[in-house]
Amino acid sequence: MKDLRVVLVVSTDPSDLFFANQLARRFSAVAVVVEDQAAAPLGPRLRRTVRRLLSPWKLPEHLRGQRIIAEHVRRTALIDREGFGEEGYQLQLPPGCQLVELSGKGVLNRPETVERVRRLEPDLLVLCGCSILKKEILSVPRLGTLNLHGGLAQRYRGVWTTLWAVVNHEPEYVGATVHFVTPDIDDGDIVHQGRPELGADDDPESLYVKVVRLGVEMMASAVAGVAAGEVKRYPLEERGRLYLSSMVTPEVLARAWQATEEGVMREYLADRDRRDQAVLPLMRGVFPPQGR
């Protein structure tokens, strides 16, 4: 396993740092590339602020949205801290593993980044939470690129997919997909799919913690399969709806927590056998559930 040169590419989110810590140790990773997605130019943010100030009739709506976001951040921070521990907040890389920190829009696809990754001579890129990679960087690793997607791609593609499954009252579709990466979004060949064990007291963020922890085990299995030359690939035969970051408004966040408080998890668990009949036939490379 140590002969496989693995380079991890993640964002600064606690879930992704936890993922990087776990996988870097298990596979003696050559490097961890951390993309700071929050680093954006001041100009657009300042222009948005000015527009809001010039529209005072929207101020109450804006303030309500800010309160919802603040409450969401408060809740998720507590759950993430408990679920990921210190490994979600500080990289603890093994000896010999390089740390490459990048920031800026589109930084992963810049020519200088592609060349920097090329010099690492990776056999395999392993992704979690980073921006979409283009063909130039995807062509670098000898054995391809694997991604952990926090959803079942036949139903949910894109981002915030666990939250959307709660909003849509479909917790049966909470799960993870490990797949090979193409320049498109979440549509490469599947290696593993899995769903965590769900509880009546779960909420959008505790579900996501479970998905990530399960995803770590799924990715470890997938990387081991690649190293052994025994990985199985399943084409994505049905592409789920694509969810974008811009679709997550304060109202969507409020709906997710409201659905939780109104018992969306209890409703599913009371009718689990019937509702799972629509999900299980879709899944490929099924991984044992974990996380009760």
Compute the distance between CA of residue 105 and CA of residue 194 in angstroms, rounded to an integer. 32
- Tell me which residue has tokens 């969401």: 72
Query: Would you place residue 47 in the very low, low, confident or very high pLDDT band (cuts 50, 70, 90)?
Result: low
Ranking 20-34, 118-132, 181-195 by mean pLDDT, the lowest is 181-195
Whether 41 has a pLDDT exceeding 80, the answer reads no
Token pair recorded at residue 19: 């993922």
Residue 292 pLDDT: 43
The mean pLDDT value for 264-288 works out to 96
> How many Cα atoms within 13 Å fall on the side-chain side of residue 198?
29
With a pLDDT cut of 70, the percent of the chain lying above it is 91
Overall average pLDDT of the 94-110 stretch: 95
Range with the poorest average pLDDT among 6-20, 144-158, 173-187, 200-214? 173-187
| Residue pair 128/15 in contact by the 8 Å Cβ criterion | yes
pLDDT at 203 over 90: yes
Mean pLDDT of the chain: 91
The structural domains of the chain, ordered by start, are: 6-282 (3.40.50.170)
| DSSP string across 19-49 | HHHHHHHHTT-SEEEEEETT---HHHHHHHH
SS3 145: strand
Q: How confident is the model at residue 291 (pLDDT cuts 50, 70, 90)?
A: very low
Residue 269 has pLDDT above 90, yes or no: yes
Least confident of 156-165, 183-192, 203-212, 229-238: 183-192
Check whether 51 has a pLDDT greater than 70. Answer: no
The pair of structure tokens assigned to 285 is 């490379």
Q: How confident is the model at residue 225 (pLDDT cuts 50, 70, 90)?
A: very high
Percent of the chain whose predicted confidence (pLDDT) is above 90: 82
Residues 6+ apart with CB under 8 A from 139: none
Please tell me the predicted confidence (pLDDT) of residue 56. Answer: 60
H, E, C per residue of 70-139: HHHHHHHHHHHHHHHHHHHCCCCCCCCCEEEEEECCCHHHCHHHHHHHHHCCCCEEEEECCCCCCHHHHC
| Position with higher pLDDT, 202 vs 288 | 202
Locate 180 and state its tokens.
């090979």
Please determine, for residue 145, whether its predicted confidence score (pLDDT) is greater than 60. Answer: yes
Residue 57 — pLDDT band, cuts 50, 70, 90?
low
Region 96-125: what's the mean pLDDT?
Answer: 96
User: Is residue 64 over pLDDT 90?
Assistant: no
Mean pLDDT of the 81-103 span: 96
In this prediction, residues 26-40 reach a mean pLDDT of 87
> 203 vs 49, which has greater pLDDT?
203
Residue 107 pLDDT greater than 80, yes or no: yes
- CA angle 115-121-125, nearest 5°? 90
Average pLDDT over residues 165-188: 92
